[in-house]
Structure 1
Amino acid sequence: MQTMTNIAESHGQEGSLAGNESTETPTVYKKTEVGVIPDDWESENLCNITIYLGAGRSKINRSGGSYPIYGSTGIIGYNNHFDHSGPAILVARVGANAGKLNAVSGKYGVTDNTIIIKLKDDFSLHFIVSLLEIKRLNSLVFGSGQPLITGTQLKKLLICSPPLHEQKAIAAALSDVDELIEGLDKLIAKKRDIKQATMQQLLTGKRHLPGFDGEWDEKKIGELASITTGARNTQDRKINGRYPFFVRSSTVERIDSFCYQGEAVLTAGDGVGTGKVYHYVNGRFDFHQRVYKISDFNESLDGYFFYLYFSHNFFQRISLLTAKSSVDSVRMDMIANMQIPLPPLQEQTAIASVLSDMDEELRTLEARRDKTKVLKQGMMQELLMGRIRLV
């Protein structure tokens, strides 16, 4: 029997996983309509493993109730009556969420824009959910208007399944990875909250780092740095270009030219990223004609400290100036006239170092989570087609 570590190690090796040398009895495979699967697995239509597959009919009670009512996005209301009970798989049937999966249990209702799948006793709910995930049900969607998946399509869907004990082993292995990803998500959220609170304290002088005290000065950005816009258009980008090319989004493009070399902070001047997209860079780069570059910092201003304060506070400033919940564009004077706190340079550097370390810790955790998600996708393909066996 392979452990989770064995699976991860096997997944990183080249060649056929099914062909790895082993002291265990080799798995015999067979060709089926769904692909090559172990000889003791079955290939059949989804309707053959269900006791019920059809759209819901429940209604929401505006006064509420004790039982949840599920729609295509999850719980959308409550009612005093339930129409279904027990474990089931819900599949969004209509709209942008068509194909989205949700596992439910207990007593509940389901609206008519969602399909209910109830399985026979010799099938694991969580195994079948994982199997349907890799089937990418949204690829079944049809219709040029309102996207739609039908119960008839799902009933004809070909699936493969091992004996129940192996279904449960596979579901448990994937659940372990889900728990790891969920744990990392919670840790990342906690670290972000801590960083946010720390920024609120340190960037406003409400709390000083050890060894620092006293009042801070305050000056306008225009007195401390140069502010300019670029001269390039998005069409100037080059795939695999030599230098970063900053446009009006969080995506950093590439280009074969550079117009500036040094430390700078960049932000979108209009578009969907207005007031929300910020970049810190120290090197050669080029930038879009509607992106603002703030650079050539006064000797009294640490560039990274400025980036932290500016990216944390600028959107609030321009929202107040425009008296709108969304901001269409930024004028240069909105940046130049913004007052920023100016502690002694040594204290700025110390604050920037603390917050930079927090950013690095977050990046490390996010990279670990993202790598785990990729690993899970690979594991699903191997486990759910029987190329790796757990029993």
Structure 2
Amino acid sequence: MEKLVAQNIQDGKPYEITIKDNEIQSIVITESEEIPEFYFGPGFFDIQVNGYAGHDYNLVQDYFLNLGQISKKLSKKGITRHLPTVITNSKKQLGKLFHQLTLLLESNHIYQKCIPAFHLEGPFISPEDGPRGAHFKEFVCAPNWDWFQYWQDIAGGRIKLITLSPEWEGSNSFIEKCVESGVKVSIGHTSANQQQIEGAVKAGASLSTHLGNGAHGILPRHPNYIWSQLAEEKLCASIIADGFHLPKEVIKVLQKVKGDQLFLVSDSVALAGMKPGDYETPVGGKVSLTKEGKLHLKDKPGMLAGSAMNLLQGFNFLLKNNLASIQEAWKMASQRPEKYIFTETEPWYADKKKEFIILKKSKDSQFDHYKTFISGKETFPNTIQSINYEQ
């Protein structure tokens, strides 16, 4: 039996939490005047995970259950739910990747809880160097509804989010079909002009994927596609807060403009949590991971190849640099992305009240993961040791 006092991040009050046999027994408000070192609140929700800790959603596995390690390891960082993100590839290869994800979810109910949907990032993005990022150019193409339906059928209808660039002819019609079918559409890896972005928003696009990244190194002062997306009030925006993708002052500006429409993603790849060095991966090909945690194309240090962080690190980055209060940062890592992807009428919300995380505040005002609960039970309690992936 374990009892601890933790502050509720939502109402700011202290509660006594009783845990027995890895299961919550009670959560009761307390009159304790001690300042608790623990905080609890909604689990973090990452809508952009390419891979993590050596496991890759963009690589066809010899044994698909290996991909379950991503959910286990992320749960030890407070991420209770995430969207596996499959990026630009051939029609056939993308089909294989969605097939193995479907098999994973069918293998165990815990993965269904951790993975409520999928994110397709590409292949309908900009073919230009810069906006294309680390995506392979040979597979970039115009939106194709028949192809998307093919992938969606294999995925069992689980593709809930697609990132594309509206610079292609026929983009608006494709966006309208996605929205009508219940799929959220995000603008990303784009070199679209003002009119094309306006058209995409009218067609139903509602998000900017990792705004400020997946862009040319040099842009006109104005107009450009970053200003255009910032100006669209109907666009929410996700950002990567790892200290490499966006400068602190840019995050401040994005917060002022987007307000409660702004939230965090990790954009983590399989190398997140790995040792520094040179690697070859399905995401970006030959890449280098520095000791500081920056991941870039091996021959192009200025071209990032995804992120080597997790969402808890992004949360801590905001706090360390006074970019958000703990309440604001927590919302950016949990409730806002969740609210964007899902509605409260969906069955997925059935046991939400029993899902939360406990974080422990350290001496430097950063937070470490302590426990994660889904359906009132600690997830993967004894199957994996906590590992420090912080930079």
TM-score by length of 2: 0.22
TM-score by length of 1: 0.22
Q: Which is helix-richer, 1 or 2?
A: 1
Higher relative contact order, structure no. (Cα contacts within 8 Å, ≥ 6 residues apart):
2
